Structure 1
Amino acid sequence: MKIKVLKDGPYIVEGGVPLYREEMVSYKMIIPQSWKKVEKFETKETYALCRCGLSRNKPFCDGSHREGFDGEETADIEIKDEEIKIFEGQDLDLLDIKHLCASARFCLKGKGIWDMIKESSSKEKYEEIMQIVSNCPSGRLVLKDKNGNYIEPTLEKEISILEDNLKGVSSAIWVKGGIAIESSKGYTYQIRNRVTLCRCGKSKNKPFCDGTHLKINFKDENYYKGK
């Protein structure tokens, strides 16, 4: 299973990767609490996902990128140590890679995950922290125990088209379970458990999402039709 980024074109998904649509769930319609799968797409062994934001058959490519999409990839191949800020807690440490943020906002619950990590990790608090970090689709937030071991959720290899229904916009493409992403330039990006790919076409960190979909009010017309 892998994803190929085509120059100024779509993402080509190979290996029969399951494709879903997920919405945010919130009880107060402010800060999201979880993700919910609401649709499973029918796909072939290989399929193409739009990354220009122009397709009229979202989330799939329909060739609209040929109208002049600049898909130049600007993201680094690997995350640099100096890009990681560490917040030390009593029992857990939180690694924050801010430039990967996809603006999903789970981290803003309560006083925010950055203050929460400082508290003693009772079983209940540990589970709450794990849930918040695991719902961060971009992998901006990662946990480490005091022995230096990474704590990551177990995710199946699959892709989800995310909808920020709380803000009324369409969000990123969530790639789960360590699927390799191959650049149009021939190299493979650092393989990670959770990453988000841009699908509005406007990210400044292509191919990865940087939250620009919120600023430009990006919408998947097929999803929002009739809502």
Structure 2
Amino acid sequence: MKQETVAPLSREAGGPSPPDKPRPRIRLSRDGPYLVTVDDLTNSKGERLSGSLGIALCRCGASRNQPFCDSSHIRIGFSDDRRPERTPAGRPETRHDQPCPRAVGAPSIRISHNGPYEVQGFDLDTGNWPEGASRECFFLCRCGGSKNKPFCDGTHRRIDFQDDRN
């Protein structure tokens, strides 16, 4: 699915403005991966990864084929439920309220080294949107340990999440 910017027709040209093109979406599969089609998927080394035909990105942290899902979430019993024991008292450490590390432009996902997915320009199918969080640029957990799923809360640092390939 190729994402393009479509300029509206001007009223001076006599044509009506076409409806805005929908933004690409990231879907959360229940207790499984992020489902996404993305033209701009890069790892922390700046290498482009193919994602334009649709991919499943790991969010349990156990895939042996990071950043892609290999169904390890089934083997380890990954759950994306917000259980009371997962919800920390007070405000969790989050990255969702930090500025985007790069200019917001075309939809893209960058895989940070041993850290979260840095997402910009996508809609996210979740009812768990943090108050005040940017919907233009946000950080999604990929270590599986966040108390603020699907968003990153910095747990990857505490559990020493490793993904040296990306």
TM-score higher than 0.5: yes
Shift of 1:220: 1.2
For the 8 Å contact 1:160–1:173, the answer to whether it is kept is yes
* Deviation (angstroms), 1:100: 6.1
Extract structure 1 runs of 4+ deviating beyond 4 A.
187-191
* Secondary structure of residue in 1 paired with 2:116: strand
Distance 1:53 1:157 in 2: 23
Q: Does 1:194 align with 2:137?
A: yes
Question: Normalising by the residue count of structure 1, what TM-score does the alignment of the two structures yield?
Answer: 0.52
Supply the distance in 2 between the matched residues of 1:72 and 1:217 (Cα, whole angstroms). 22
Matches within 5 A, 1:176-195: 176-177=120-121, 179-183=122-126, 187=127, 189=129, 192-195=135-138
Provide, for residues 89-132 of structure 1, a one-character-per-residue CA deviation record: whole Å limited to 9, x for no partner.
xxxxxxxxx74633xxxxxxxxxxxxxxxxxxxxxxxxxxxxxx
Q: Any idea what SS the aligned residue of 1:38 has?
A: coil
**Which TM-score applies when normalising by structure 2?**
0.69
Equivalent residues in 2 for 1:1-227, closer than 5 Å:
1-14=24-37, 16-22=38-44, 38-67=46-75, 68-73=77-82, 99=92, 101-102=94-95, 138-141=96-99, 153-163=103-113, 170-177=114-121, 179-183=122-126, 187=127, 189=129, 192-223=135-166
Query: Using the alignment, how far apart are the partners of 2:165 and 2:108 within structure 1?
Result: 21
User: C-alpha displacement at 1:51, in angstroms?
Assistant: 0.1
Pairwise CA distance, 1:155: 2.5
Alpha-carbon distance between aligned partners in 1 of 2:70 and 2:52, rounded to the nearest angstrom: 15
AA aligned to 2:26 is I
Q: Distance in 2 between matches of 1:160 and 1:73?
A: 26
| Aligned sequence identity (%) | 38
How far apart in 2 are the matches of 1:217 and 1:6?
A: 25
Q: How well do the aligned residues superpose, as a CA RMSD in angstroms? A: 2.6
Pair 1:53–1:182, CA change in 2 (3 A): same
Matched residue type, 2:49: F
Alignment CA distance shift 1:221-1:173 (3 Å): same
Number of matched pairs:
132
**Greater share of residues in helix:** 1
Q: 1:51 to 1:222 in 2, by over 3 A?
A: same
How has the CA–CA distance of structure 1 residues 173 and 154 changed in structure 2, closer, same or farther, with 3 Å as cutoff? closer
Higher strand share: 1
